[in-house]
């Protein structure tokens, strides 16, 4: 904590960081925190997701905010609902005893719920551009008095086509606010935003770290969403000594999975941002002592968690980004030991897995789930081993008389079979297990892709095919049904090639006369 102390943080904030398990700041935190605490200039920070940037802006903002104001003081824009939730949870976990109300607002969540939260009074709003703009138009959100504006993952907002909304939102903010822009890359369009709305800024750059975890065996299972819990149980059951973290996307999912595990008799518990510090410390203590062997958690709650000898990390839900994937699985396979990382994906998530694989250069192998008979055989062997150990090591004298009485009228085989049935019927009965249907990704099918560029942007069939061929090395013969309209276009590709294109062009890497290209899956039955 010595480096944190040198950054000029309050005693209260240092106490919060210590309880969260923070030991030293990440590079982006070490540079941003003092700059935001002491200076008044705007900041552009270039850093990858997963480097601790939420704390880099969240800590100094919380330190400088006032508890006496009755208006929205901070607006944080994030490109996706997942990131908005994650950022809100992290800031909530950093505020300590400060009475700030932090609310995430995003599309897909009940608008009436958001309206109720906003009416109660909010200090920090974390939202996606579309939903924030919707509230501004309704008049249900006022940002004309904010002190701090944060654009998180600005390049992602650019790639997702949100820059127009971002500009419209920034126009409604006061000139005397402090603006912070965080982005993995700084393309010209981002710089244009900065020059328009941030006339006086400093640039902080953090060198990109290599994303590899060489001591972890990485596999994935293709499962339907409704079969994820049964899949988790099978993985735990097949292992001789499972001791691991299970990562879920939301606090609701964490509570649900932990509760189901407890009902099945597993030594499991939950960890997320809504818990009190006392509850968190109690659960972590039990986990470190192996009183519980399965800890279900969100990414935010598990930050700073330092536990040795984990056998597994389970990605019950895919993480938001490749960096988070590396952070998750890096919690196992430490100190020269081999760990296991298991990821569950539904068929629709295959492209996200490909992005993670490409960006991390990880060798994530597809695996087959253990069959019911495999689980039962494993449990039979464990029971047999346990009984043999009891025979060899435990005093059995007080049970011999009862044993002899039973042997007068019954065979030893029948007595032992009856005892096994009485004690292990639930574990060894095939009828107590649910079949898990294979969720196979269709690797042979075709995918229709949508491009938000057309004739009006100078795009032609020839240009589009040439770009895809040059950037993704895909043969023109595989690019079918090209349709170039005035404002947008469509193409059809085999599944594998479509995934490559979606992965590459998501970040708009192609630049030139045709402007940046972004490909997405076309909606069903549209222009077919």
Q: What are phi and psi of 339, to 5 degrees?
A: -115, 175
Of 240, 193, 186, nearest to 46 by C-alpha is 186
Residue bearing the bigger pLDDT, 331 or 415: 415
Q: How many CA atoms lie within 13 A of 296 on its CB side?
A: 25
Q: How many residues does the chain have?
A: 528
Whether residue 381 sits in one domain with residue 353: no
Whether residue 384 sits in one domain with residue 364: no
Cα dihedral 92/97/101/102 (nearest 10): -10
Within-domain flag for 390: yes
Biggest alpha carbon distance in the chain?
A: 95
- Asked whether residue 500 carries a pLDDT value surpassing 90, the answer given is no
- Asked whether residue 124 carries a pLDDT value surpassing 60, the answer given is yes
Whether residue 119 sits in one domain with residue 10: yes
Once rounded to an integer, what is the mean pLDDT over residues 455-475? Answer: 88
Residue bearing the bigger pLDDT, 18 or 144: 144
Within-domain flag for 277: yes
Within-domain flag for 437: no
What pLDDT is recorded for position 516? 63
- Asked whether residue 86 carries a pLDDT value surpassing 90, the answer given is no
- Asked whether residue 406 carries a pLDDT value surpassing 50, the answer given is yes
What pLDDT is recorded for position 212? 56
Assigned token pair, 404: 């002899």
What pLDDT is recorded for position 512? 40
Whether residue 510 sits in one domain with residue 467: yes
What CATH number has the domain bearing residue 516?
3.30.70.330
Query: Which of 45-59, 97-111, 496-510 bottoms out in mean pLDDT, i.e. has the lowest?
Result: 496-510
Which of 47-56, 119-128, 341-350, 506-515 is predicted most confidently?
119-128
What pLDDT is recorded for position 443? 59
What pLDDT is recorded for position 134? 92
Of 441, 439, 440, 426, nearest to 233 by C-alpha is 426
441 pLDDT band (50/70/90 cuts)? low
514 pLDDT band (50/70/90 cuts)? very low
Among 341, 369, 397, residue at a domain's last position: 369
Once rounded to an integer, what is the mean pLDDT over residues 351-365? Answer: 83
262 pLDDT band (50/70/90 cuts)? very high
Whether residue 242 sits in one domain with residue 194: no
- Residues of the chain with pLDDT > 90, as a percent, come to 26
- Asked whether residue 506 carries a pLDDT value surpassing 70, the answer given is no
What pLDDT is recorded for position 49? 65
Whether residue 76 sits in one domain with residue 12: yes
336 pLDDT band (50/70/90 cuts)? low
Once rounded to an integer, what is the mean pLDDT over residues 346-369? Answer: 84
Query: Which of 64-73, 298-307, 379-388 bottoms out in mean pLDDT, i.e. has the lowest?
Result: 298-307
Whether residue 419 sits in one domain with residue 344: no
Whether residue 173 sits in one domain with residue 39: yes
Within-domain flag for 109: yes
Within-domain flag for 440: no
What pLDDT is recorded for position 186? 83
Of 88, 107, 75, 105, nearest to 197 by C-alpha is 75
Whether residue 156 sits in one domain with residue 33: yes
Once rounded to an integer, what is the mean pLDDT over residues 479-487? Answer: 89
Query: DSSP 3-state assignment of 526?
Result: coil
Average pLDDT, the chain: 84
Whether residue 359 sits in one domain with residue 264: yes
Once rounded to an integer, what is the mean pLDDT over residues 448-453? Answer: 89
Among 348, 369, 390, residue at a domain's last position: 369
d(CA 294, CA 275): 17
pLDDT digits (tens, 9 = 90+) for 151-185: 998 888 887 778 889 999 999 999 889 999 998 88
Q: Are strands 339-345 and 216-222 parallel, antiparallel or unpaired?
A: parallel
- Asked whether residue 528 carries a pLDDT value surpassing 80, the answer given is no
pLDDT digits (tens, 9 = 90+) for 21-45: 777 888 889 889 998 888 788 999 9
Assigned token pair, 115: 């309206």
Q: Are strands 294-297 and 489-494 parallel, antiparallel or unpaired?
A: unpaired
Whether residue 513 sits in one domain with residue 416: no
Per the structure, the complete domain to which residue 483 belongs is given by 446-521
Within-domain flag for 389: yes
Within-domain flag for 487: yes
Element housing 170 (H / E): helix 163-170
- Asked whether residue 511 carries a pLDDT value surpassing 50, the answer given is no
pLDDT digits (tens, 9 = 90+) for 272-297: 877 776 787 789 889 989 999 999 99
pLDDT digits (tens, 9 = 90+) for 416-426: 888 888 888 87
d(CA 489, CA 154): 25
Within-domain flag for 527: no
510 pLDDT band (50/70/90 cuts)? very low
Whether residue 381 sits in one domain with residue 321: no
d(CA 256, CA 262): 10
260 within 8 A of 286, measured Cβ to Cβ: no
Among 205, 224, 242, residue at a domain's last position: 205
What CATH number has the domain bearing residue 304?
3.40.50.300
The number of distinct structural domains making up the chain is: 4
- Asked whether residue 508 carries a pLDDT value surpassing 50, the answer given is no
């Amino acid at each position: 904590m010595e480096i944190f102390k040198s950054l000029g943080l309050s005693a209260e904030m240092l106490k919060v960081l210590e309880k969260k398990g923070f030991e030293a700041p990440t590079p982006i935190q070490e540079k941003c925190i003092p700059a935001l605490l002491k200076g008044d200039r705007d900041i552009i920070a270039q850093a990858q997701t997963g480097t601790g940037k939420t704390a880099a802006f969240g800590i100094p903002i919380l330190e400088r905010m006032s508890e006496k104001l009755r208006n929205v003081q901070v607006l944080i824009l994030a490109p996706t609902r997942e990131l908005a939730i994650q950022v809100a949870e992290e800031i909530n976990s950093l505020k300590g005893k400060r009475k700030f109300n932090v609310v995430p607002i995003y599309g897909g969540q009940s608008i009436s719920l958001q309206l109720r939260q906003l009416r109660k009074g909010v200090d920090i709003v974390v939202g996606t551009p579309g939903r924030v703009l919707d509230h501004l138009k309704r008049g249900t959100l006022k940002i004309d008095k904010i002190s701090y504006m944060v654009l998180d993952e600005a390049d992602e907002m650019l790639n997702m086509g949100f820059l127009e909304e971002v500009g419209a939102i920034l126009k409604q903010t006061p000139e005397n606010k402090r603006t912070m822009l965080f982005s993995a890359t700084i393309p010209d369009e981002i710089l244009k935003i900065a020059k328009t709305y941030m006339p006086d800024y400093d640039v902080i750059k953090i060198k990109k770290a290599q994303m590899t975890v060489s001591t972890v065996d990485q596999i994935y299972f293709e499962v339907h969403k409704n079969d994820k819990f049964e899949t988790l149980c099978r993985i735990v059951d097949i292992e001789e000594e499972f001791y691991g973290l299970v990562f879920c996307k939301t606090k609701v999912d964490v509570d649900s999975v932990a509760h189901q595990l407890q009902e099945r008799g597993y030594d499991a518990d939950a960890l997320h941002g809504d818990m009190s510090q006392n509850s968190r410390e109690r659960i972590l203590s039990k986990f470190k002592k192996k009183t519980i062997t399965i800890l279900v958690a969100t990414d935010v709650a598990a930050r700073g968690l330092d536990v040795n000898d984990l056998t597994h990390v389970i990605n019950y839900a895919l993480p938001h980004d490749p960096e988070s994937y590396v952070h998750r699985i890096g919690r196992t396979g430490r100190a020269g030991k081999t760990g296991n990382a298991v990821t569950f994906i539904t068929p629709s998530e295959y492209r996200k897995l490909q992005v993670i694989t490409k960006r991390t250069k990880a060798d994530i192998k597809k695996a087959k789930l253990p069959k019911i008979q495999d689980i039962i055989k494993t449990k039979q062997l464990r029971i047999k081993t346990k009984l043999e150990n009891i025979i060899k090591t435990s005093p059995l004298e007080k049970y011999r008389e009862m044993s002899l009485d039973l042997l007068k009228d019954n065979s030893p085989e029948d007595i032992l079979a009856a005892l096994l049935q009485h004690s292990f019927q639930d574990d060894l009965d095939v009828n107590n297990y649910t079949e898990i249907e294979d969720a196979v990704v269709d690797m042979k099918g075709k995918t229709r892709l949508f491009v938000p560029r057309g004739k009006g942007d100078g795009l032609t069939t020839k240009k589009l095919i040439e770009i895809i061929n040059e950037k993704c090395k895909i043969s023109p013969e595989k690019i079918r049904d090209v349709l170039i309209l005035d404002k947008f276009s469509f193409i059809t590709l085999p599944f594998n090639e479509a995934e490559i294109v979606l992965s590459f062009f998501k970040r708009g890497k192609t630049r030139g006369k045709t402007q940046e290209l972004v490909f997405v899956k076309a909606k069903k039955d549209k222009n077919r």
